[in-house]
Structure 1
Amino acid sequence: MPKRILQGPIVSDKGEKTVVVRVDRAFKHPLLAKVVRRSKRYHAHDESNELKVGQRVLIRECPPKSKLKRWEVVTEEQVAADAASAQQGEAAE
Structure 2
Amino acid sequence: MPKRLLIGQVTRDSSPTTRRVEVPRLVKHEVYGKTMRRRTICYAHDADGISKNGDTVEIEESRPLSKLKRWVLTRVVAKASASQNAAIVAETPAS
- C-alpha offsets along residues 16-75 of structure 1, whole Å, 9 cap, x if unaligned? 201000001002111011101111211000010121000000001000111110000002
Compare the two structures and name the one with the higher helix fraction: 1
Count of aligned pairs: 76
**What is the TM-score when the length of structure 2 is the normalising length?**
0.76
- TM-score w.r.t. the length of structure 1 is 0.77
Residue 67 (structure 1) aligns with: 67
1:16 aligns with 2:16: yes
Q: Which one has a larger percent strand, Structure 1 or Structure 2?
A: 2
| Aligned counterpart, 2:90 | none
Larger Rg computed on CA atoms: 1
Q: Which runs of no fewer than 5 residues in structure 1 stay unpaired?
A: 77-93
Give 5+ residue unaligned stretches, structure 2. Answer: 77-95
In structure 2, how many angstroms separate the alpha carbons of the residues matched to 1:29 and 1:17? 37
Instruction: Report the RMSD for the aligned CA atoms in angstroms.
Output: 1.2
Q: Which residue of 1 aligns with 2:53?
A: 53
Q: Could you say which residue in structure 1 is the equivalent of 2:37?
A: 37
- Give runs of ≥4 in structure 1 deviating > 2 Å: none
Identity of aligned residues (%): 41
